[in-house]
A and B are shown apart, each in its own frame.
Chain A
């Protein structure tokens, strides 16, 4: 390849500088144009947004180019680039460390800003849109400054470096590294859009339901991407890390999960405001919390203050992120205080036994859950700061508190879909919950017959059946009335999402409670058995290239399927990475890892076998959540998508 080493750095830095100029003038134009109601000035805002976006795209392309051409004049390429890295993982290496991941964040943010500009191009003179664009530009300006300053991927490195180690071996071991970070970032960064409109609504004093309608789909899609990104991350963990789990309550996992919890609370409680005009302060607070938690999470995991399998390294971005987080919180709270008089809800909630009552209960659980995860994540820091000693808060703590929260949410998913707005009578509930309740009992009876034990998994299966029955009932009623259109709209798409959540809950309960594992030392020609399966070592396979040497054991399971768990030694880093071999069916996975030490000349190998029930349903549930989110984004047949739900239904003539 033609070497243009050295060019990507100056180009990248120039692009970031142009981006800063674009974001700054975009902010200036949005603020002054909105304040003076000057259409001419406002027409400049899209141009600056295009300029910033083009600069972000060009900077990202320059970084990719630097990586592809192995421009080792850059410190970042020295850190994560290598001639031995295959093209695909070399491409993804751009977001495999701190500076590149912030650049990816910036790219997504700049594209979203252009998305808003395009969508609202005919309404730029609307002050709420103007202030929302000003907010987007502030956030974009911050990230441009961060990228050109403490997280600069175009910084020059030490001279004379001719090759690098490549990305972390775990990030060049599975195709999901291509999809998981960008999709997660689409959700994470996407939360900026509803936040920007919330700030716009507060500044203009238009804190009714209009801004919610404007951001309904933005919030939904951001939530959908965040959900999908988290599930892809779980899948990656399962397929790559070799401990057979999907979630370890790692600080970076928590950093994405906490905003997901508050965003999930928001997409439920927003319905109460749209429908009843209530919970204005609460909804604003949830959105502001969601966005500020994305910044706080980034601070916690990217500043080096906490470490995890994902946390990249110590860096100087901590004070920047912490200051920005503080500004967001202070300004948002001040704005809410300033608009306090307009935020008073005009209505009341008549009864706790109503759909809005159930949403409120759901919000309490989601918020407390988010608090628990945040507390568990930062508690070691608090202890270290106050008592100068180290403490680790890990999986057992989170599991202990997550189980009751999850069961309560499942219970609410049983009841809420059948509750009417305003008030429900006992008789009505008895009618509507009857068959869903039997579905729950049927699920429990089936679990007991199949040998399930343990109170928590049994409660999960019961409530899962009950909630699944309630969701299916809603879908059946809707499709009876409207045919296939009964599957779209927020209520019905939401029920598809619920079914996805139920499948995930059941799969997690089953796999966490009933997984069995065993270490087996296999000898060629001797069949070992475990968990009703036989395992036979057929031999070893070796391969090697510049990057790594791979040693895999060929294991025949049940005399038929061949598994090839492997251990790869990454030569430049001297790291051994295990690669599990997994075969999935609808009822269970057989997950095999090769345990060190491995001697290819030997006629034996030590493997660890995990029999994991129902894991497949976790991925099916994730897919259903994605489909349900898409279905929710389409309007039902009765209303225009831009109308609040409380708007009168149009009559066709």
Chain B
């Protein structure tokens, strides 16, 4: 059993995962219906009279009108999804877009989460370094070896939450 769980088997598992992910993620997802496309586009457009709801979610008249406009554009088949969204944004001004731009002040909404994540991870890294330093002072090699031995022997370890 130990051999079964050795690193070559883990390598094989890793290879399988990569291969299956490659097969699954690169193959054609099949045709979208016109409705699917309308739904996908309207999820990116805010209902102008609904305070935060998307056209896809809202049942308001203004949302219904935009949905009809999108349906006409999709049926015409001349514009891409982005072009349809841009045309709606031009008609109703920029506040109908549900995705903040990645430029200017709006980019803060994208940048801040990443900055917070980096700070949090850096904070953890610093904390672990400090703790490791304290551990060296706190326990002798014999202590560490004893604890590891006991931990390895402790049959109830996994349920001790």
Contact = CB atoms under 8 A, between A and B. Distances in A.
B113 A395 contact: no
A255 to B, nearest CB: 12
B43 A396 contact: yes
B13 A441 contact: yes
Contact of B112 (A248, A306, A355, A375): A375
Contact of B131 (A349, A401, A444, A530): A349
* Nearest 6 Cβ contacts at the A-B interface: A394-B98, A491-B161, A307-B51, A348-B131, A392-B46, A455-B25
Contact of B24 (A355, A371, A447): A447
B83 to A, nearest CB: 17
A434 B10 CA distance: 8
16 contacts: A243-B57, A311-B51, A360-B124, A368-B113, A379-B109, A387-B105, A392-B52, A397-B98, A397-B109, A421-B157, A453-B29, A455-B24, A489-B161, A491-B160, A491-B161, A518-B35
Contacts of B5: 430-431, 434
B68 to A, nearest CB: 11
A400 B10 CA distance: 31
Given A243-B57, A309-B53, A420-B158, A391 B95 contact: yes
A448 B27 CA distance: 10
Nearest to B31: A516
A352 B128 contact: yes
A516 B17 contact: no
B76 interface: no
Nearest to A450: B24
Interface string A484-526: 0000011110100000000000000000000011110000000
A437 B92 CA distance: 50
B138 interface: yes
A350 B106 contact: no
A297 interface: no
Contacts of B44: 396
A367 B120 contact: yes
A248 B55 CA distance: 11
Interface of A: 241-243, 245, 248, 250-251, 271, 275, 306-309, 311, 348-350, 352, 355, 357, 360-361, 364, 367-368, 371-372, 375-376, 379-380, 383, 386-387, 389-397, 400-401, 417-418, 420-423, 428, 430-432, 434, 437-438, 440-441, 444-445, 447-448, 452-455, 458-459, 462, 474, 477-478, 481, 489-492, 494, 516-519, 530, 576-578, 608, 636, 638, 645
Given A578-B59, A608-B35, A459 B21 contact: yes
Nearest to A311: B51
Contacts of A251: 52
A377 to B, nearest CB: 9
A441 B12 CA distance: 11
Given A307-B52, A445-B20, 8 more contacts: A350-B135, A352-B128, A376-B109, A392-B98, A394-B53, A445-B16, A453-B30, A458-B21
